[in-house]
């Protein structure tokens, strides 16, 4: 069933595990709200299962994970795979501290976009919008 | 439309088999309105009507999510299959929203409660149309009870109250001023008051104020049944047993007699009313778009003329 164009994008935002840097996630939540999206905010200490459950029940269009504890190379692919396994066709975007040398590995793992410190509100909204649009095709 | 119809049938089938993702999709279709929403409404109408619908309202920060989470968790742990519909306001400027109620509902979710967040999405009558439809989706697929959490502001509150069987109004010690203006409205809709944050000073004063307010309304005859009051400290789990007990008592009261059919018939009428309002406002919008200003006619007379013409239409 085709998505209706005028419905706002719904995105689930979370931080995984014990990584306590939630300032960035809160900023991103406001940026996305101000660009007209509906943000389902999960906050800190989420597990892969909790994110999958939220996407399923909220019928989200995208998942955004914020990562600052150098766990992105294991955790991001795990989320992508868990969503796939659950039959949920939604893009995953990542922000926070991801060294440039890891960008290729992230893309290979199926992460739709990665943003780092200093990203503007427009960067953030565009990243999510493009990731969602790419899935819709 | 044919392929949409077959997708819909398969979604309904899978949802009946307990597939939660299909329930999630159906909720989205209802929320978006339009043709698909009406199809879902038709498909779920005859399957629904069995669930107890609880509305929880009150000022932002009163503790609605915390209470809802505890209730949903406790119910999910025992023999129930609860669902939560958590409503937050959309930004009037951008239409976006931060839906943060899930943060407090982790345990409830892990215990098996189905939690869905939704934004008010500004459009006129939107909530009044979408909420009963979404509640019906939960109802049709065996979720019971269904808890609606909403911010206590004006029309939203009234819309949600008319979608629920049991309405809980959550207040805290500082409630007086905020609620003062809307006293009568709150008393009319409340079946149960919760004074939350009982750990804070002033909670017993809040309770006394509430009692007085209810006494007054009983004398002036506004309210029919005296709403119960329970004191809770949701964050400590205190008073939660009384809270749950009061909700169950109200359910017994409703379902034990003919109260429920009175209330359901009110709900049914309220929904017809909001659908009618919506249809009429849509045709009104159409008529206004093509209207040219006639200086010689007063706006009132033009409106009346349009309405008279519309009423002669065979089909909307
Ligand atoms: C503030 C801060 C803290 C605060 C966090 C407060 C909080 N509640 O968030 C405190 C003091 C608690 C803290 C603690 C620690 N920190 Co610290 N911290 C920082 C610091 C200085 C700034 C982070 C920040 O808030 N930036 C502001 C926000 C707005 O920016 P942002 O998060 O980058 O978000 C932007 C983008 O990345 C992107 N984005 C972010 N998330 C998302 C998500 C999506 C979906 C999208 C699209 C975009 C997006 O958009 C945002 C807007 O531009 C950084 C250094 C730095 N320059 O980044 C270190 C840093 C992140 N911390 C670090 C470390 C090591 C720690 C500690 C382990 C230190 C220690 N030894 O105790 C602890 C760990 C605590 C824990 N439990 O996790 C390291 C991480 C190293 C790494 N990953 O390789 C950093 C990089 C410092 C460094 N150079 O070493 N920290
Ligand atoms: N002291 C105290 N704080 C509470 C209590 N119940 C909730 N809170 C806190 O009040 C804040 C708002 O709670 P929340 O459930 O989100 O309120 P809502 O906006 O009505 O949904 C949170 O920080 C809660 O932890 C309580 O009984 N006592
Ligand atoms: Mg809340």
Chain A residue at shortest CA distance from B7: A1
CATH dotted code for B50-258: 3.40.50.300
CATH topology of domain A10-100: Rossmann fold (3.40.50)
Q: Name the strands in the sheet holding A113-115, side by side, starting at the edge strand that comes first in the sequence.
A: A113-115, A92-96, A62-67, A10-16, A38-46, B97-99
Chain B environment of A53 (Cβ under 8 Å): 109
Domains of chain A, residue spans: 10-100
Alpha-carbon gap: B234 to the closest alpha carbon of chain A (Å): 20
How far is it, in rounded angstroms, from Cα B244 to Cα B77? Answer: 13
Tell me what ipTM this predicted complex has.
0.95
* Other Cβ atoms closer than 10 A to B204: 12
The answer on pLDDT for B1 being more than 80 is: no
Task: Compute the distance from residue B166 Cα to the ligand 2 centre, in Å.
Answer: 21
- A29 touching chain B per CB within 8 A: yes
Q: Write down the pLDDT at residue A41.
A: 98
The answer on pLDDT for B88 being more than 80 is: yes
Could B109 and A53 be called an inter-chain contact, meaning their C-beta atoms sit closer than 8 Å?
A: yes
Q: Write down the pLDDT at residue B156.
A: 65
- A48 touching chain B per CB within 8 A: no
**CA angle at A75 for the pair A70 and A79, rounded to the nearest 5°:** 150
What is the overall mean pLDDT for chain B? 88
Model confidence pLDDT, tens digit, residues B288-298: 888 888 888 89
Model confidence pLDDT, tens digit, residues B188-212: 788 999 999 999 998 998 898 888 8
Tokens of B241: 């047993």
**CA angle at B114 for the pair B113 and B115, rounded to the nearest 5°:** 110
Domains of chain B, residue spans: 50-258, 259-316
User: Which is more confident, B277 or B111?
Assistant: B111
pTM above 0.90, yes or no: yes
Q: Write down the pLDDT at residue B76.
A: 97
How far is it, in rounded angstroms, from Cα B116 to Cα B97? Answer: 14
| Ligand 2 atom 24: residue of nearest CA | B63
**Using alpha carbons only, how large is chain B's radius of gyration in Å?**
21
How far is it, in rounded angstroms, from Cα A17 to Cα B153? Answer: 36
The answer on pLDDT for B221 being more than 80 is: no
Percentage of residues in chain B with pLDDT exceeding 70?
90
Atom of ligand 2 nearest to the CA of B66: 15
Across the range B305-309, mean pLDDT stands at 88
Q: Write down the pLDDT at residue A3.
A: 47
The answer on pLDDT for B179 being more than 80 is: no
Provide the β-strand partners of residue A13: A41, A64
Chain A environment of B94 (Cβ under 8 Å): 33-36
What beta strand segments (E) does chain A contain?
Answer: 10-16, 38-46, 62-67, 92-96, 113-115
- Ligand nearest to the Cα of A30, by number: 1
What contacts B49, CB < 8 A, 6 or more positions away? Answer: B139, B264
Chain B residue at shortest CA distance from A49: B110
Could A34 and B91 be called an inter-chain contact, meaning their C-beta atoms sit closer than 8 Å?
A: yes
Q: Write down the pLDDT at residue B155.
A: 63
Model confidence pLDDT, tens digit, residues A88-101: 999 999 999 999 99
Q: What is the DSSP string of B112-159?
A: T-EEEEEE--SSTTHHHHHHHHHHHHHHHTT-BSEEEEEE--HHHHHH
Across the range B40-61, mean pLDDT stands at 92
Q: Averaged in consecutive runs of 10 residues, what is the pLDDT profile of chain A (137 residues)?
A: 69 97 98 98 97 98 98 97 97 98 97 98 98 89
- B220 touching chain A per CB within 8 A: no
């Amino acid at each position: 069933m085709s998505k209706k164009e005028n419905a706002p994008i719904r995105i689930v935002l979370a931080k995984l595990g014990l990584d306590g840097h939630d300032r960035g996630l809160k900023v991103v939540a406001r940026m996305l709200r101000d660009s007209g999206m509906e943000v389902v905010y999960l906050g800190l200490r989420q597990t892969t299962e909790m994110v999958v459950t939220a996407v399923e029940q909220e019928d989200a269009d995208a998942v955004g994970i914020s990562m600052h504890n150098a766990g992105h190379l294991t955790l991001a692919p795990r989320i992508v795979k868990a969503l796939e396994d659950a039959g949920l066709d939604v893009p995953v975007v990542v922000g926070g501290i991801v060294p440039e040398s890891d960008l290729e590995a992230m893309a290979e793992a199926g992460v739709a976009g990665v943003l780092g410190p200093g990203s503007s509100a427009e960067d953030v909204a565009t990243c999510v919008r493009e990731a969602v649009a790419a899935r819709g095709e | 439309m044919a392929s949409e119809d077959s997708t819909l049938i398969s979604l309904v089938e899978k949802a009946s088999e307990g597939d939660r993702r299909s329930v999630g999709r159906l909720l989205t279709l209802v929320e978006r309105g339009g043709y698909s929403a009406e199809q879902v409404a038709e498909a779920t109408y005859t399957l629904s009507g069995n669930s107890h619908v609880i509305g929880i309202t009150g000022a932002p920060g009163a503790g609605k999510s915390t209470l809802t989470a505890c209730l949903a968790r406790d119910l999910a742990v025992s023999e129930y299959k609860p669902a939560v519909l958590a409503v937050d306001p959309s930004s009037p400027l951008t239409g976006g929203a931060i839906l943060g109620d899930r943060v407090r509902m982790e345990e409830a979710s892990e215990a098996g409660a189905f939690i869905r967040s939704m934004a008010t999405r500004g459009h006129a009558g939107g909530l009044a149309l979408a909420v009963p439809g979404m509640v019906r989706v939960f109802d049709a697929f065996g979720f019971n009870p269904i808890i609606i959490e909403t911010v206590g502001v004006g029309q939203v509150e009234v819309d949600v109250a008319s979608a629920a069987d049991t309405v809980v109004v959550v207040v805290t010690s500082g409630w007086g001023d905020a609620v003062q203006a809307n006293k009568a409205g709150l008393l009319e809709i409340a079946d149960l008051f919760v004074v939350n944050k009982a750990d804070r000073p002033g909670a017993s004063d809040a309770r006394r104020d509430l009692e007085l307010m209810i006494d007054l309304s009983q004398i002036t005859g506004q309210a029919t049944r005296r709403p119960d009051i329970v004191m809770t400290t949701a964050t400590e789990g205190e008073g939660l047993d009384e809270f749950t007990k009061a909700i169950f008592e109200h359910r017994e009261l409703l379902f034990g007699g003919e109260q429920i059919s009175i209330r359901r018939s009110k709900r049914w009428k309220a929904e017809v009313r909001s659908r009618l309002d919506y249809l009429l406002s849509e045709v009104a919008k159409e008529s206004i778009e093509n209207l040219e200003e006639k200086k010689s006619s007063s706006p009132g007379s033009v409106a009346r003329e349009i309405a008279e013409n519309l009423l002669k239409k065979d089909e909307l």
